Structure 1
Amino acid sequence: MGVRLSPFRLPSTSEESPNFYSLKNNINKIVERCFVKIKPLADRVVVKPIDEESKTKSGIIIPDTAKEKSHRGEVIAVGPGKYDDGKLVELGVKIGDKVLYKEYSGDEFKLDGNIVIILKEEDIIAVIES
């Protein structure tokens, strides 16, 4: 019953496996393409809308065609801020904040198959604290 050693051995140096680093670089490139990075400019904020409830408190199911557009979302990216009298003023929201925003504000885009809204900071009405 002794210990059985695996017949497979991982290379210990890059000299033994010249393709290891090229494989690693290819994997990194594939991963980078899978996740779109977005960096808003100035005082803009990228928000992922939070879907409204599809059922009322009494249990009535609301069809998608009758739902109102959400005005709540989660901040997924923020710009660096805007300049005021030569000084950079940072934004009052941060990634992960849940926010309320004006009804007809921002521009809607599809990012990685999800709808996101790019807003100016002034279009955000409040931060929702939980």
Structure 2
Amino acid sequence: MAKRLIPSLNRVLVEKIIPPSKTSIGILLPEKTSKLNSGKVVAVGPGTRDSNGNLIAVSVKEGDTVLLPEYGGTQINLSDKEYHLYRDEDILGTLHD
């Protein structure tokens, strides 16, 4: 049975996107040119409450592709996969095609 983590408060569970190290025809790509610190949102918490008790929802949703800070987050291993847990305010933005 696979475990599913539901983040608490304003936390976001992200699976980092690993860029390919070579092209489809086998040309090796330099590490620096293909590196963009991004990930796919797997799960989000319900949000936090302000001083009046109003819910402040998380700004991203499951399935979003997000830009991540170079450092930070908490590494979590579930079902032989590596994920990272970030606070909503640590996520730099969402990426769109």
Q: Please give the TM-score of this superposition, normalised by the length of structure 2.
A: 0.84
In the alignment, structure 2 segments of 5+ residues that lack a partner are none
d(CA) in 1 for partners of 2:17 and 2:70?
A: 14
Count of residue pairs the alignment pairs up: 95
Q: Which residue of 2 aligns with 1:51?
A: 18
1:82 aligns with 2:69: no
> Which has the higher relative contact order, 1 or 2, with Cα contacts under 8 A spaced 6 or more apart?
2
The structure whose residues are more often strand, as a share, is: 2
Shift of 1:55: 2.3
The structure whose residues are more often helix, as a share, is: 1
Q: Which residue of 2 aligns with 1:96?
A: 63
Shift of 1:96: 0.3
In the TM superposition, structure 1's runs of 4+ consecutive aligned residues that sit over 6 Å from their partners are none
Q: Which residue of 1 aligns with 2:38?
A: 72
Q: Which residue of 2 aligns with 1:120?
A: 87
Shift of 1:72: 0.5
Q: 35, 42, 47: which one pairs with 2:9?
A: 42
In the alignment, structure 1 segments of 5+ residues that lack a partner are 1-33
Shift of 1:84: 1.0
d(CA) in 2 for partners of 1:42 and 1:120?
A: 9
d(CA) in 2 for partners of 1:111 and 1:69?
A: 24
Shift of 1:105: 1.4
> Helix, strand or coil: the match of 1:115?
strand
Shift of 1:52: 1.3
Contact 1:49 1:70 in 2 (8 A): no
